[in-house]
Structure 1
Amino acid sequence: MSLIAEEAPKVRGRRSAASDPNSQQNGGDRKFLPEVQGLRAVAVLMVVAYHVWFGRISGGVDVFLLISSFLLTGQFTRRLESGKALELFKYWAHLFKRLLPLIALTLLLTLLGVYVLLPETVWSSMFGQTWASLIYYQNWFLASEAVDYYATDHSAASPLQHFWSLSIQGQIFILWPLVFATAAIISRAGRLRIRALLIYIFGAIFTISLLFSMITTYTNQAFAYFDTRTRLWEFALGSLLALILPYLSFKRSTRIFLGWVGIVAILSCGFILQVGQKFPGYMALWPTLAAALIIVAGFTNSKLGVDRFLSWKPLVRLGDSSYALYLFHWPLLVFFLVFTGREQAGLKAGAVIILVSILAAIIATKLVDTPIRRSKWIEKKRRRAVLTIAICIALVAAPLGAWQGKLKIQELLQAAQSKADQAEVVRNYPGALSLQDGFVDTADPALPMTPPLTALNKQWVNLGNECTEKFLPIEQILADKCGQTAPVKTPRKTIVIIGDSHAEQIAGALMPVAKSNDWQLVSLLLGGCDFGSESAPSGRNETCQAFNNAAMNYVLKLKPDAVFTISTDAVPDSPDESLIPGYEAAVQRFAGAGIDVIGVRDNPRFSDSKSACVAKSGPDACAFKQADHLAATDPAASLNSINGAHMIDLTDQYCKDGNCPAVLGNVLVYLDDNHLTWDFARTMAPALGERIAASTGWDVR
C-alpha cells in the first residue's frame, strides 16, 4: 500500500542510479527510491498533523494511493517484460502476511480502548467496524453509515475510521494483479506489447473512474468519499506514471522545479481545499498530480532538488514505519479526545500524541513487522505465510466473537424474559406509566434497564411489512419508504403515518393502540424530512419536498380515516420550539378532504446523546429541565380550532413537574440525541389511545 507497498530490494545510498544527474531519473537501475520513501513519510506526517492539530483532512491519503499503485505496477510490469510468472497466490500470501500482523495488533488494542473508554451505545457499531477492518471492507461499511440516517451516533468519531483507506488499498492489491494477469493473456494471444497494452487498460480505468468520481462526488459526496470505484482513477494514475516514466526525460533544472512545485502543492492542499467535503472528485487531482511531479523529478543530485530533502535519512527511516504510524495515530487521538472530553487535542497535547504515535510505530515496526517480514522460515514455504495470516485473523476474531457472543446471549435472555409474561414486563418496565399519579414501583430489584445499551440499533420502529396491494404507492419516490402493519381484513380505521424519524418513533406508541382496535397502519417515512405543505417556505431539500408532495397526493387518493404526524420542531438544548413550516396548510388540506389529522408534539432534542450520557454517567446525571428544551405550551395547540385537527401533547409522558429523567420506569427514554426508544414509546400507548379517543370521539379500546 502507499503505506504498505511491496518492498523493493534496497540499494542503499542516495546515488544508486547512474552518476549522470541528467540521465533517466527513475530508470530500472534504481531499485530503491529514497525520495519516494521520504515522500511516503511526508504524506503520513501530513495526515497525522492535520488530524491531530487542525481537525482536517490533508490529502495525504491520496498521495498514499498513488504511491502504492506506482510501486505495485513497476513490480508487476518488470516481471511481465522479463517473462517471469506473476505467481499471484504467492504474491497475495506474501503481501497479506506482512500487512495483517500490525492490523491485528491495532485492532486488539483498539478493542481494549473501546471497552475501557467508549460507551456501550457504540459497541455494536464498533463490532461491525472491527470485522470490516479485518477483512478489508471498512470503506463500504463507512459508506453505508455515512448516508444512513439511522446509523448510530454520527457525532462520535470511530477509532477505526482510518481503516477505510487500508480497505480500499487491500481491495486494489487483489484487483490490480488480476488486471495484470488478464493483460498478460491478452498480450500473448494478440502478440501485443505488454506495456502499451497496460497503458491503454489503465488509461481507460482512469477516464471512466474519474468521470464516475466527479458525478458521484457531486450527487452523493458522503458515500463517494469511501467508494472504491470513485478512487480507482487515483490508482490508475499511479500505474500510468509507472508505465510512462521510463520514456520521460527532462533537464535537471526542470526536474528541480517540478519537485518543488509538487512538494509545495502537497503541503498546502489540506489548508486550501476542504478535502473532507470535496474529495474524491476532480479536486483530488491536486495531491495526486503533485505527488506525480515529485516522482517525475526523481533523483536530481542537486543541493537544490527536493529529493535531497526527501532522501534525508531520518525521513526515509520514518517512511519505513509509516504503515504503523498511520495505524496507531488515529485511535490514540480518538481515545485521548474521549478521555479528556475535548473537541481538539491542542498544540501541546497534540505534540505528545504525535510523538507517542511515532515512537509506538517505530517499536511495532521493529518488533512485529520487520521480524515477520524478513523471516526466512516463513518465506521458505507458502503455507507458513498462509498460517501467519490465519493466526492474525484468529487473534482478532476469537476475542471479538466471544465479546459479541456474550452480549448476544444477554440480549436473548432479556428478550426471552420479556416474552414470558407480559404482565411482568409492565410491572418491571412500566416506562411512562411510572409518572402516573399514585404509581407504586413493584419492579424486581436489580433488574437490567431496557433496552440494553449494546442493542440500540434494534430500537428503530417499523411496522413490520412492506406496502402491498392497495397501499403500494405508484410514485417511485415513495416505493421503498412505505410500510404497513399486517393486513387487517376489515379494519375499523386506516391511518397513514407521514413524516420523519420522529413520526416513526412515536408510531411505536400508536402500534399497540392500532392492534387492540383493529386499525390498519400505513407509513410513509423519510429520515430528516418533517412533513409540511408543498408550498412551505422552508429549507427542505428537493428530495424532501418531492417526498412530501408525493405523500400528500397519496393520502388524498387513498382517503384514509386519519393521518398521523409530528406537528412541531424542537430545537436541541433550546426552548425555541415551533410549528413545522407548512404544517397548518397541510392540516387544512387534509381536513378539507374529510381526513382527520392527529398531530403529536415533538419530543426534546439535545446536542449530545442521552443514551451515551447514561452509559457514561448514569441516569441521574442525564436528567434535564423541560423548560430548557421545549416551549412553555404546545405551538400546535391553536390548530385544534380546525375541524378534523387533533393536536396531542405527550410531554407529560416523559416529564413531570418540569423535570425530565433519561430513564423512566427502568426504560431508557432516548435512543440518541433526539429520538425516543421503541421500548419507551410502547409504554406511552395507553395515554396516546386515551387522548385520541377524547379528541376524535372514536371508540378506542
Structure 2
Amino acid sequence: MSVTTERPQVGEKQVSPRPRGISHPRRAAAGEGRAAGPRGLTRTWREAARRPRPSGRRRRLDIQGLRAVCMIQVLGFHAWKIGSPIGVDAFIMISAYLMTGAFVRRAEAGRTPWFVERWLHTFKRLMPPLVVTVVITVTASLLILPRNQWIEVLVQGAASVTYWQNWRLAAVSADYFADNHAASSPLQHLWSMSMQGQVFLLWPVLMAVCAVIASRTRRSVRRVVTMAFAVLAVASLTWLVTSAPTDGSVYFDTRARIWEFALGSAIAAAAPRLRPRNVYVRWLGSCLGLGVLVLFCLVSIGAYPGPVAAVPMLAVAAILLCDTPPRLGTVSRLLSRRPLVALGDRSYAVYLVHWPLLVLYLAATHRDRLDLESGVAAIAVALAVAAVMTRCVDRPAQVLPRSGRGLRAQAVMVIVSLVAGALPLGVAGAAIAYQRRAEISQAVQVGVDPEHPGALALTNGQASDWTSPPVPGPLTVDTEWADLSDTRCDAAVAALVESENSTCRRLPSASGQGVRAVVVGDSHIAQNAVPTLRLLNEEDWDVTAYLKGACPFAPDGYYKNDCQKRNRAALAQIEANPPDVVLLQTTVTAEDSPAEVLRPGITELVERLTNEGITVIGLRDNPRSNQSLYECASAVGPQTLVGGCLFPKNGAMADNDPAESLGAIPNFHEIDVSDMLCPDGTCGTIIGDVFVYIDDNHVSATYSRTMGPEIASRIKRAMSIGQ
C-alpha cells in the first residue's frame, strides 16, 4: 500500500510520491536517489519539489498559482475586508479534489491506501509548521495581550494543535466578521486547519469503505465514490439550509462545510466524465472559472457559509477540470507565472503566520484596523516569515521520511509534534493556573474585606489608597458571571423555559412563607440583580430566575425564535402563578453614547404585569463601550474613590432615566443605580479597589455584590417592606 501524495491543505505544495533524491537506503547502492550520507539527504529535500514526477505526469504549476490567488484573497479580506471570504472555501475544493483524485487513481491501480497510513502521512507534514506557529503565537500573546486573555489563548493553543479549534471558537461565539481584528484571537484563523484535520481523519475511512463496496459489488470505484460523496454533499447542504444554527457559531461548524469537501470529492471522482475534450471548451471553461473566482475575490457577494459558496467552488472546479498546456493566452500559463507559483508553494506557511502577525500588531499598537501602509508592511513581514517557515520547517516535513515508507518514522514525527506543542503549553498553563488560584483566594467577601469595599466605599466615603491590586484579578474574570444557584426549576417549568443559552433557576424560601420574587431578562439583569436577590434570599425571599443571554423580557412581537419562546413561557408561568414582585431591566444604553432608551415592549409588559396585581421593580441599564472597560489602566492618583478609565456620565447614559415615564403606572417602581456606577457624574472602571466591569458592557459579579445591600434596601423601600 502507498499513500496519496497531494497535500490537501491550505497552502501546501504538491510533491512527488517519492522525491528522486530520497530513496530507500537499500537502493542507494544501485545508484538510485540520493548520495549516501547526511549531505546527500540534506541536498535532496531542497531539490525534491523541483524534480519531475516519477509517474511521468507533469506537475501542474497552475494549481500552485491557483492557491496563490486564493491566498491573496485571504490576505486582502483579513487586512482590509476586500471581497467575499471565499479563500478557505476554494482551498477546500482544491484539497478535496486532489486528495480524492489521488485515492481513486491508486484504487483503480489496485493500491488502495490504508487509512492509518494516510493519516500518518498527512499529519506528519501538517503538524510541524502548525505547532511552531502555535507555540510562537502563544508566547507572543502572553507578552502582548492583557492577562485576562491569557487563559483563553492557552486553551485555543491546545485546541489548535489537537484540531478542535473551530469548535472552541463556536463555543465562545467568536465573530469572524468583526471589524476590530485587535479584539480577535491571534489563533482564530486556525479554525480552518482544525476543520480540515477532522475531515482528513474521516475522508480516508469513507474512501476506503467506498473501495470495499466497489470491490464487493464489482462496480467502478469512481462511480461508488462519486455517488457516495454526492449524497453526502446534498445531505450536508440540506442541513445547513434547514437546521443549522442561526448565530455566528455556524461559521466554525464543521457540519456547515462538509458539503464543500464532499462536492470537491464527487467532482474529482467524476473528473474523467466531466472534463471537456475540446481544447477550446477547456480554454473557455478555465477563463470563466478564473473570472468568477476573481469577481468573488474583489466583491462581497452572499453570506458564508452558505449555498452561494458553491459558485466560487464550482469556478475553482472548472479551472481544475479544464486544464490546458501552459501556452500563451491560457489560464494555465497565467497561473503558472513564477511569482504566483512561489506564493502557492508558501501559501500554507503564509496562512499560518499572517493572522497572528496582523492581530498582535493591532493589539500592540492599540489600533482597531489596518490602513493601507501598515497592512502592506504587515503582509510583507508575513511573507518573509513564511519563506523561512517553508524552508526550515514545512518543506522538510513534506519529504522526510520518504513518502510511502517508514510508518514508524512518520508516527514518531506526529508524536514529537504533539509533545513539542503540548509541553510548553502545559507548563505555561500550570504557571497561570497557580496564579489564578492565588487570585481566587482574594475573592471579596462584602463587609469582611476592608481593602476592597467596592460600592460600599461610596456610602462610607472610604477613599482608595491604590496600594492593593483591584479585584477580581485578570485570570478570574471568567468566573464573574452572576448565577442564582445550581437548583433548577421544576422539571415541567424548566422544559418550557430552558433552551440554548437559557436557564431557569430557583432559590426557595427557608420558611416557605417569604416574599416571592421573579427576575426575568438577559445577562444585564442577571449581573445587576442576581447578587442582590441572593442577599434577599438570606432574608427568606423565594427567588426564581428566567435568564437568557441577549434576550430582554418583552411580550410577543418584539423578539423572535428562542428569545420569543422563553419570554412567552416565562410570562405564562408568571401569570399562572403570580409572584409578589417581578424584577426586569427597563432601559438599554448605547456604546459610548447618551442615546439611552426604553427597552422594546417594556411599557406594554409593565402594564400587563401590574394589572395582575404584581409589583414590578425596574432597573436602569449600565453604561456600555466599544472597548474593554476591564482592561483600562488606573488613571487617577491615591486617596480617591474612582479610578481606571474615567468618562462622564452624560456621555454614556441619558441625562434623565427614560423609565421615569413609567412612574405613573400603579405598582411600578424604578431603581436607578447609576449613582453607584457613576458617582458625582463621573463613571469609573475601578471603584473601591474593585473592577466595576468584566468586559465592555457587563458589571462584574463582585462589584454587583458590593452594591447588593443598597439595592436591596431600595427594593424593600419601594415595596414598603422592612420599614
| TM-score, L = length of structure 2 | 0.87
Mean CA deviation greater in 100-109 or 117-126: 117-126
What corresponds to 1:161 in structure 2?
188
What corresponds to 1:20 in structure 2?
none
Distance 1:29 1:470, change over 3 A: closer
What corresponds to 1:208 in structure 2?
235
What corresponds to 2:720 in structure 1?
697
What corresponds to 1:245 in structure 2?
271
Q: Pick from 548, 566, 570: which aligns with 1:547? A: 566
TM alignment of 1:282-293, pairs within 5 A: 282-293=307-318
What corresponds to 1:195 in structure 2?
222
Indicate if the aligned counterparts of 1:596 and 1:644 stay in contact, CA closer than 8 A. Answer: yes
Give the superposition deviation at 1:469: 2.7
TM alignment of 1:485-504, pairs within 5 A: 485-489=506-510, 490-504=512-526
Specify the SS of the correspondent of 2:631. Answer: helix
Q: Deviations over 1:578-634 (max 9, x none)?
A: 222322222222222121111111111112110133499998451111121122222
Indicate if the aligned counterparts of 2:583 and 2:618 stay in contact, CA closer than 8 A. Answer: yes
Indicate if the aligned counterparts of 2:501 and 2:549 stay in contact, CA closer than 8 A. Answer: no
Distance 1:406 1:376, change over 3 A: closer
Indicate if the aligned counterparts of 1:472 and 1:482 stay in contact, CA closer than 8 A. Answer: no
Distance 1:557 1:65, change over 3 A: same
**What's the Cα RMSD here?**
2.9
What corresponds to 2:480 in structure 1?
459
Mean CA deviation greater in 494-503 or 77-86: 77-86
Mean CA deviation greater in 312-321 or 326-335: 312-321
What corresponds to 1:391 in structure 2?
416
1:624 aligns with 2:651: no
Q: Pick from 170, 189, 202: which aligns with 1:175? A: 202
Q: Deviations over 1:28-78 (max 9, x none)?
A: 852522111211121112211222233554411111001101111122112
What corresponds to 1:672 in structure 2?
695
TM alignment of 1:53-68, pairs within 5 A: 53-54=80-81, 57-68=84-95
What corresponds to 1:526 in structure 2?
548
| TM-score, L = length of structure 1 | 0.89
What corresponds to 1:116 in structure 2?
143
TM alignment of 1:63-74, pairs within 5 A: 63-74=90-101
Distance 1:213 1:585, change over 3 A: closer
Q: Deviations over 1:1-43 (max 9, x none)?
A: 332558441899xxxxxxxxxxxxx9x8525221112111211
Specify the SS of the correspondent of 1:484. Answer: strand
Distance 1:87 1:470, change over 3 A: closer
Q: Deviations over 1:232-291 (max 9, x none)?
A: 22112221222222233331111111111111111110333345xx12221001110110
Indicate if the aligned counterparts of 1:124 and 1:454 stay in contact, CA closer than 8 A. Answer: yes
What corresponds to 1:407 in structure 2?
432
Specify the SS of the correspondent of 1:76. Answer: helix
1:585 aligns with 2:608: no
TM alignment of 1:249-398, pairs within 5 A: 249-274=276-301, 278-376=303-401, 381-398=406-423
What corresponds to 1:21 in structure 2?
none
Q: Deviations over 1:307-350 (max 9, x none)?
A: 00111233223211110011111111112222233333222222
Specify the SS of the correspondent of 1:594. Answer: coil
What corresponds to 1:574 in structure 2?
593
Q: Pick from 2, 10, 14: which aligns with 2:9? A: 2
* d(CA) in 1 for partners of 2:81, 2:621: 37
Q: Deviations over 1:501-526 (max 9, x none)?
A: 11111123323422321112111122
Specify the SS of the correspondent of 2:318. Answer: helix
Mean CA deviation greater in 39-48 or 544-553: 544-553
* d(CA) in 2 for partners of 1:615, 1:250: 71
* d(CA) in 1 for partners of 2:463, 2:343: 66
Mean CA deviation greater in 553-562 or 224-233: 224-233
Specify the SS of the correspondent of 1:675. Answer: coil
Specify the SS of the correspondent of 1:575. Answer: strand
Distance 1:440 1:605, change over 3 A: closer
Q: Pick from 675, 678, 682: which aligns with 1:652? A: 675
Give the superposition deviation at 1:385: 2.2
Indicate if the aligned counterparts of 2:616 and 2:668 stay in contact, CA closer than 8 A. Answer: yes
Give the superposition deviation at 1:686: 0.9
What is the aligned residue count?
673
1:181 is matched by which residue type in structure 2?
A
Distance 1:471 1:691, change over 3 A: farther
Q: Pick from 627, 631, 634: which aligns with 1:612? A: 631
| More helix, by proportion | 1
Indicate if the aligned counterparts of 1:472 and 1:479 stay in contact, CA closer than 8 A. Answer: no
| Unaligned segments of structure 1, at least 5 residues | 13-25
Q: Pick from 165, 170, 173: which aligns with 1:138? A: 165
Specify the SS of the correspondent of 1:597. Answer: strand
Give the superposition deviation at 1:293: 0.8
| Unaligned segments of structure 2, at least 5 residues | 1-7, 20-52
* d(CA) in 2 for partners of 1:222, 1:291: 26
* d(CA) in 2 for partners of 1:667, 1:130: 30
Specify the SS of the correspondent of 1:162. Answer: helix
What corresponds to 2:155 in structure 1?
128
